[in-house]
Structure 1
Amino acid sequence: MTEVPASDSPPERGRLRRARAGFRALPRPLRASTYAVVALVLALVAGLVAVVVAVRHPLPQEEGELAVPGLAAPVTVLRDEHGIPQLYGDSLTDLVRAQGFVHAQERFFEMDVRRHATAGRLAELFGEDAVESDSYVRSMGWRRVAEQELALVSPDTRRALEAYAAGVNAYLDAHDPADLAVEYTVLNLGGLDYAPADWTPVDSLAWLKAMAWDLRGNMSDEIDRLLEQSEVGARRAAQLRPAYPFAEHPPIVSGGAVIDGVFEPGASGPDSRKPLRPAFTADRRSAPAALAGVRDGLERLPDLLGSGDGIGSNSWVVDGDHSTTGKPILANDPHLGVGMPGVWMQMGLHCRTTSEACPLDVAGFTFSGVPGVVIGHNADIAWGFTNLGPDVTDLYLEKVEGDRWRHGGRWRELETRTETIEVAGGDDVEMTVRSTAHGPILSDVSEELADVGRTAAGQRGSGVEYAVSLAWTALEPAPTADAILALNLADDWDSFRTAAADFAVPAQNLVYADRAGHIGYQAPGRVPIRKSGNDGSVPSAGWRPENDWTGEVVPFEGLPHELDPEEGFVVTANQAVTGPGYPYHLTDDWDRGYRASRIRGQLEAEPKVSVAETAQLQLDDRHPLGPVLTPYLLDVELPAGYWSGGQDLLADWDFAQDADSGAAAYFNVAWSNLLALTFHDELPEELWPDGGQRWYAVVERLLEDPDDPWWDDVRTEDVVEDRDDVLEQALRDARDEMTRRQARDPGEWSWGHLHRLELRSPSLGESGIGPVERLVNRDGWQVGGGSSTVDATAWDAAEGYQVTSAPSMRMVVSLADLDDSRWINLTGVSGHPGSEHYTDQTDLWARGETLPWAFSAEAVADAAEHRLELVPATDPDR
């Protein structure tokens, strides 16, 4: 059995030796030391041949035979022309052991960096500038929670985790760092004397915490809502967050109710347990400063841990009556931050003969570092994920005095623990983590922020400070890993729901289809039930017990689900899950449903859809605000010629945002300028609009009131601007910007020229060393789509037009013929910059193409270009 180390005690094997000089890691971005620059330049001067050898040396063996200790029987690895591996074995344990080996072949550096990030140990690799990031992660205690979860998972899951770890370690044992990844060569050239430690089951479980963080829900909304109120007052702040439009954008499950704690899809009325949800009651004098500091600190966490903001996904399923195949078709494309390598690695895990002893026959998208398939299909069912987005985090403003915190009229003892952060090229950093009953105090990470907390409410010298703590369901141990293995083995609706019941965090919308013809939807996840004083919309006063969580969660049986809906399809795109009558509070911060309504409308317009048409719908790039805003823009009177050139493009625009569209480019630039002109004068920079779905709704309503105060620029004291003034100036500014960025002739404009996809490594890709960045980063893709379109290539209007998140993969599963399914990855399967499979799927992805998804043994064999046999290591010298 693999020994699991304590969170602050890494394994002896491969212990880090202090770097004499090494990389430093700014959480966003990561930077390199001058020593590394000099070392790398010398290496390059020494000869390009050596560089090429160093880059290509870690590429995995794809042919022949390799011995893997612990295998009971051979495992065959077949790779197609894109390097996608399909594994064939005789036991589940052998298959996941081989999966660990193959993941390590292709992506161990990614796995290693992510486990350092999730353990709060990035500073061991990248130096003192990563200490802040490590401090936040240590405060939240991700790895400590993962260690507790190992004791909660089922024996089968634990065996799978241990076998997977053994497979990874078998690869590590046979390779020096330079053989594992070229990044280790670069790091060690910079003076970091490093060899990776053994992989453990806890490393796999901690990776799930990073995904939960990336999809955590509305924590930033909680802070921003309060900051907006402090800037412009409650009434005007409410204009920036319109209520969800249930009539315009239907929820996922339109009917049903909770009866005696159980969700009944056919019920017409709820029971009477809806909680009270009064307004926020914290001290408003101290909250803004303390909370803004926590917000800023968390935003500096590395990109590889995810942003948690603006992330969505599409997934839908149609039944056989609505498909040309006569069986269900399921589609999924999760939207995540873009980076290199992509988060997914395609893989198949197949028992040569399926039986009770070897039941696995599954393929899909895997996380490097985690056994099993996360999203995909097996021989019987298919499933897809979108983010449910419930409110599973609450920030509390706490009154703290010394080692005590205030709650319910009395002082209670804080819980404390000490963490030591090892720093490459620097001294160890010792930190004390303090926690209230709500959760860890995040504001302790920054001394400056702690001082703000002490003084913000006029408490200087009193001994009382205002701290910020975090309550988050992911900090409570849960056997989420059980759900992954159970989903892989599920064969019908009941076993699928049983698997989903273990999926605690991140809470997801699950869509379902099976080969018997059934389709369905299930909302799993651990969602807290709050006391009557707290609706989770803004940070709460931690000293008031009525703001606490009850300790209960929404029961799984009470979460919305539906089997074989009457309309014949299910659409999930992060919209509201149920109507306003649902008795449990999930969240008020749903995606507003533009993507969901567009998908639903397209499905309703087609009696039957094919696999190809389903894949085409994933590329739909119609701008949801185009039909609303464009008529107002066309009504603006501009002088003929130069000023009206862009406006002329809008006259014939069909609201599509393909990469070649000049009209889409002009519209989006005008939109960006409109937001700046309307809101930048009254909101601080950290609250400037990103231009996504919430801001579509805000501006749509403001357009109906040309004299609303938001239109006025408060910086022009002698002038009161109205809507038409702002629209005209936005068009003029957009014309100048397009001329400056692209050309004077509007006929030469294109959206893709502005809207570019750049794939950057979140570690060495931000090193500041040109040759290293060119080695690991890739860019140059001009893409269509946009924020809150079905083809959701999001961009941030406050920062520019570059893609910030995108479909991380696309898949379409045909339950009539699994070999007729399609899939594509944002990058390739390989994490090696020297591999032809590093970004070999990106060109296809950018063109909207997909790859054939072979599943049957015959189809996989026909597609195979490489065959590798992993055999038991019976001879110790072998």
Structure 2
Amino acid sequence: MALMFRWLIRSAVFLVTLSVVVLLLVYWFAARSLPDYDDTVEVRGVTAPVEVVRDNANVPHIFGETDADVFFGLGFAHAQDRLWQLITLRRTAQGRLSEVFGTATVTTDKLMRRYDIYRLAVASADKLDPETKSALEAYSAGINARLDQINTEALGRGAPEMWLFNAPMAPWRPADSLAITKLMGLQMSGHLEAEVLRARVSLELSDQDRLRDILPEAPGSGVAALPEYAALFPEVTTRHAAAAPMDSHPLSPFKRQAFAGASNAWAAAPTRSAAGGTLLANDPHLGFTAPAIWYLARLELETGGVIGGTIPGMPVVLTGRSADLGWGLTTAYVDDQDVYIEELNPDNTEEYRTPDGFKKFRKRSSIINIADADPITVTLRWTDNGPVLPGSHYNLGSITPPGHVASVASTLFTEEDPSLAAAMKVMRAKSVQQAINAATDYVAPAQNLTLVDRDTIAMKTIGAMPRRDANHQSEGRMPSPGWIAANRWDGKLPYTANPEFIAPAGGILGNTNNKTVDRPFPNHVSFVWGDTQRVQRWQRLMQNREVHTRDSFIEAQLDTVSPTARALLPLIGAELWFTGEAAPDGTPERQRQRALDLLAGWSGEMNEHLPEPLIYAAWIRALQDRLIRDELGPLAEEFTHVQPLFIERAFRDVQGAAEWCDVRQSAPVETCHDMARLALDDALLWIKETWGTQLESLRWGDAHQATHDHPVLGEVPLLRYFVNIRQSTSGGDNTLQRGLTRGTGKDPFYNVHGAGYRGVYDFADPDSSVFVTSTGQSGHFLSRHYDDMAQLWRRGEYIPMSLDAELARAAAVGVTRLEPAQ
């Protein structure tokens, strides 16, 4: 017995020792890829030594003799910190994810091949101006120099993920950067889904007047009535069709419309600034990942220093400042996509109808190699309007008649796309007017460019706006027959037609993705806008002060008051506040009274430590579902986020919208206040099952966790605790500190989309400007810079944004010298 016990002890010691050794070996191999920031590297591709000075936040300050050398240094820095991100972004754009991830990404690859953006990027690269081509070639050489160093010095393949996946990386080339620009354009485009959804809802609703309720116009002048979708395509008779599943892989660029892109930007002229200098704040919103998409960098160009947010793969500061100019971006929601229904030739399905008769599709076969599976061949087809897409994509099949296919037109689909070149010219501009002129040739994705120089503020919509015929059957709001000439695009509108606001008399301008202009079709810019709510709070905060400061702009960026909650709660609870009779503890009536008592004293602040935001969010979500479920059936699942204008129209009975409150399938006639009471009970039941019965102890932040998840390793057991960054956060769908909720699943209020970058620039004292990202500079989860900004971001703190070289050197954590190879 004693002998057996001794052997058990020895076996346990052996197994523990072996486990420790294995873990140490794994750590050693993974840590090999951590970059040495204090190093001298001989490289090919620079004309003189390049210095990459890392400040204490690991922001690289890059100094070189020429602009090409500086871009080389940026490429090297991007590859040091974000190599895996570079690989996956490029593979996504190429439609080659399945070579690494197997069958899980086949759907994404098929779609990317059909969109064909990589071929378009290759064609565009050959037509760039010499200056941009030189910059892209130098940037590519910088990435490739880091790859050479990794291979030569056996630096752990450059990233821990490279040990887990067989993902060999070919040398970077200029077209790769252009492809990533187009990839970002796909992520920020939501008009395709908006058109399909409008068509599907049109088919489901027996009363077409109700379409304007559930899909309302942004406030402003109305538009002419549109035809029913069934009138355009009588062959489509689908009713209550179940939604086809979306490609939900984290690497897929195809997101729901709610996640297509958003942002905030506002500026103040010297007359509205306490210190007498212009002010600019910008926080672009994209889906959260670990690491964040944004990477901070400072470039010392021949035209002067620039600092701000870059995206790995693109050699440009997309939002930031120089000594003379500050610039920021918000999604413009330009209607730059149209869906077309193409009629096939019944005698030859290789042809489709055009205004001039039947015409053959342009076709090409494309082979997708799949890890651990046989390759597949995809036949790609294009019409004059654009690529033909499968019926499963955004449920196109549900609105496509038999004998037809769907195609999509987009401003992205061009072989002459100087968008990146235009962005680089904006980065070098010295004044507002120079920057506006520099963006003339910008194509996509359409953005509102907010600008400040020392004296002037401005906002200009940049990006191509399609020229549509005034007789377009659906005005680009629903899929239309592709063979009718009036429905087709006729080039693009001139740059001068893009909205612009220069030096407004009030001294304040901004954008929260709200409607910017009210023009009649076809010069309308868009019918679909990203915000009708945040802008109300922004207007109030801006006008509450005669003059602003850097701190007041920061306060606005971090504001968590929901104007939607303030507007809707008195409306939906009008007949519920303080009207119920006393009820015994533990009954639904008593729980409802407690919830209403809490909400009655709430300011509408979506603070992570309060219970009221969770009660409100659950109530309003349940209410919308009750209002639309019987009319839309399974299609109600498509409305994953609350539509505030719809709720308001229904409760105010705008043009008969209260009809939504009556359940058609029941005998009684329900009122909107009946629905509000029932929805509150639904919400409280969900809260009880999920969080318990003690309403006062609820925390919004427990439900509203920011989910910076690794897109590949985020679901791997044990490893996910090292690679995912989860934080309790304030804010919500309609607050200026926007934390857009997931909207679906068992955790519908997870914060999945928001400001991955925040910057505030004060030109009265430029070096007091500040910025922060939502994770950290490194993409290596063993690096202390993987998440060192995450808590700063969560608490609403920032780091300095200085162009003073000596300050950067004084706080340097390392200096990498890139020496020309002998």
- Corresponding residue for residue 83 of structure 2: 108
CA-based RMSD of the aligned residues comes to: 2.7
Aligned pairs for 1:7-156 (under 5 A) are: 47-156=22-131
Residue 342 of structure 1 aligns to a residue whose secondary structure is coil
- 2:191 equivalent to 1:242: no
1:475–1:297 Cα change, 3 Å: farther
Greater shift, 60-69 or 156-165, is seen at: 60-69
- 2:761 equivalent to 1:783: no
For 2:276, which of 300, 308, 326 is the aligned residue?
A: 326
For 2:563, which of 620, 624, 628 is the aligned residue?
A: 624
8 Å contact 1:518–1:564 — kept in the other structure?
Answer: yes
- Corresponding residue for residue 735 of structure 1: 684
8 Å contact 1:529–1:585 — kept in the other structure?
Answer: no
Greater shift, 99-108 or 144-153, is seen at: 144-153
Tell me, in whole angstroms, the C-alpha distance in 1 between the residues paired with 2:226 and 2:17: 64
Aligned pairs for 1:63-462 (under 5 A) are: 63-176=38-151, 178-187=156-165, 192=166, 194-233=167-206, 234-246=208-220, 283-286=232-235, 296=244, 299-300=247-248, 302-305=250-253, 307=255, 309-310=257-258, 311-351=261-301, 358-401=302-345, 402-408=349-355, 410-443=357-390, 457=401
- Corresponding residue for residue 611 of structure 1: 550
The Cα of 1:298 is off from its aligned counterpart by: 6.1
- Corresponding residue for residue 633 of structure 1: 573
- 2:758 equivalent to 1:834: no
1:707–1:96 Cα change, 3 Å: closer
8 Å contact 1:755–1:783 — kept in the other structure?
Answer: yes
The Cα of 1:292 is off from its aligned counterpart by: 8.2
Aligned pairs for 1:735-814 (under 5 A) are: 735-766=684-715, 769-779=716-726, 781-799=727-745, 800-814=748-762
1:282–1:95 Cα change, 3 Å: farther
Residue 370 of structure 2 aligns to a residue whose secondary structure is coil
For 1:577, which of 503, 510, 516 is the aligned residue?
A: 516
8 Å contact 1:433–1:441 — kept in the other structure?
Answer: yes
- Corresponding residue for residue 673 of structure 1: 622
For 1:682, which of 617, 631, 639 is the aligned residue?
A: 631
For 2:496, which of 542, 549, 557 is the aligned residue?
A: 557
The Cα of 1:740 is off from its aligned counterpart by: 3.0
Residue 291 of structure 2 aligns to a residue whose secondary structure is coil
> Which amino acid in 1 is paired with 2:213?
Q
Deviations 1:353-381 (A, max 9, x none): xxxxx224111100101112111111210
- Corresponding residue for residue 30 of structure 1: none
Deviations 1:295-339 (A, max 9, x none): 847654644525262231110100111112210010001111111
> Which amino acid in 2 is paired with 1:127?
G
Residue 635 of structure 1 aligns to a residue whose secondary structure is coil
Tell me, in whole angstroms, the C-alpha distance in 1 between the residues paired with 2:770 and 2:442: 26
8 Å contact 1:87–1:95 — kept in the other structure?
Answer: yes
Tell me, in whole angstroms, the C-alpha distance in 1 between the residues paired with 2:240 and 2:440: 34
1:291–1:730 Cα change, 3 Å: closer
8 Å contact 1:122–1:130 — kept in the other structure?
Answer: yes
Tell me, in whole angstroms, the C-alpha distance in 2 between the residues paired with 1:89 and 1:836: 27
Tell me, in whole angstroms, the C-alpha distance in 2 between the residues paired with 1:422 and 1:445: 22
The Cα of 1:242 is off from its aligned counterpart by: 2.0
The Cα of 1:215 is off from its aligned counterpart by: 1.3
The Cα of 1:73 is off from its aligned counterpart by: 1.3
Tell me, in whole angstroms, the C-alpha distance in 1 between the residues paired with 2:44 and 2:612: 60
The Cα of 1:56 is off from its aligned counterpart by: 1.9
8 Å contact 2:708–2:752 — kept in the other structure?
Answer: no
1:829–1:512 Cα change, 3 Å: same
Tell me, in whole angstroms, the C-alpha distance in 2 between the residues paired with 1:746 and 1:276: 46
Tell me, in whole angstroms, the C-alpha distance in 2 between the residues paired with 1:548 and 1:302: 34
> Which amino acid in 1 is paired with 2:406?
V
8 Å contact 2:344–2:353 — kept in the other structure?
Answer: yes
- Corresponding residue for residue 432 of structure 2: 493
**What 5-or-longer segments of structure 2 have no aligned partner?**
1-15, 583-589
The Cα of 1:112 is off from its aligned counterpart by: 0.4
Tell me, in whole angstroms, the C-alpha distance in 1 between the residues paired with 2:698 and 2:617: 12
Tell me, in whole angstroms, the C-alpha distance in 2 between the residues paired with 1:129 and 1:744: 40
Residue 176 of structure 2 aligns to a residue whose secondary structure is helix
**What 5-or-longer segments of structure 1 have no aligned partner?**
1-40, 249-273, 352-357, 460-464
Greater shift, 638-647 or 210-219, is seen at: 638-647
8 Å contact 2:518–2:524 — kept in the other structure?
Answer: no
Tell me, in whole angstroms, the C-alpha distance in 1 between the residues paired with 2:591 and 2:35: 57
1:292–1:153 Cα change, 3 Å: farther
The Cα of 1:246 is off from its aligned counterpart by: 2.8
- Corresponding residue for residue 612 of structure 2: 663
Tell me, in whole angstroms, the C-alpha distance in 1 between the residues paired with 2:817 and 2:448: 38
> Which amino acid in 1 is paired with 2:132?
T
1:639–1:805 Cα change, 3 Å: farther
Deviations 1:470-514 (A, max 9, x none): 111101131111112101210112320122112210010011101
The Cα of 1:859 is off from its aligned counterpart by: 2.8
8 Å contact 1:218–1:589 — kept in the other structure?
Answer: yes
- 2:533 equivalent to 1:594: yes
The Cα of 1:579 is off from its aligned counterpart by: 2.3
* Equivalent residues, number: 780
Residue 371 of structure 1 aligns to a residue whose secondary structure is coil
8 Å contact 1:128–1:423 — kept in the other structure?
Answer: yes
Tell me, in whole angstroms, the C-alpha distance in 1 between the residues paired with 2:392 and 2:664: 36
Tell me, in whole angstroms, the C-alpha distance in 1 between the residues paired with 2:262 and 2:461: 15
8 Å contact 2:709–2:725 — kept in the other structure?
Answer: yes
> Which amino acid in 1 is paired with 2:303?
P
Greater shift, 237-246 or 380-389, is seen at: 237-246
8 Å contact 1:223–1:291 — kept in the other structure?
Answer: no
The Cα of 1:210 is off from its aligned counterpart by: 1.2
1:837–1:87 Cα change, 3 Å: same
Tell me, in whole angstroms, the C-alpha distance in 2 between the residues paired with 1:842 and 1:339: 12
8 Å contact 1:825–1:845 — kept in the other structure?
Answer: yes
Tell me, in whole angstroms, the C-alpha distance in 1 between the residues paired with 2:217 and 2:549: 36
8 Å contact 1:392–1:473 — kept in the other structure?
Answer: yes
Tell me, in whole angstroms, the C-alpha distance in 2 between the residues paired with 1:96 and 1:470: 36
8 Å contact 2:199–2:229 — kept in the other structure?
Answer: no
1:466–1:649 Cα change, 3 Å: same
8 Å contact 1:217–1:392 — kept in the other structure?
Answer: no
> Which amino acid in 1 is paired with 2:189?
R
Tell me, in whole angstroms, the C-alpha distance in 1 between the residues paired with 2:690 and 2:110: 41
- Corresponding residue for residue 862 of structure 1: 810
- 2:673 equivalent to 1:699: no
The Cα of 1:284 is off from its aligned counterpart by: 3.2
Residue 305 of structure 1 aligns to a residue whose secondary structure is coil
1:395–1:845 Cα change, 3 Å: same
Residue 122 of structure 2 aligns to a residue whose secondary structure is helix
> Which amino acid in 1 is paired with 2:721?
R
8 Å contact 1:622–1:655 — kept in the other structure?
Answer: yes
- 2:756 equivalent to 1:816: no
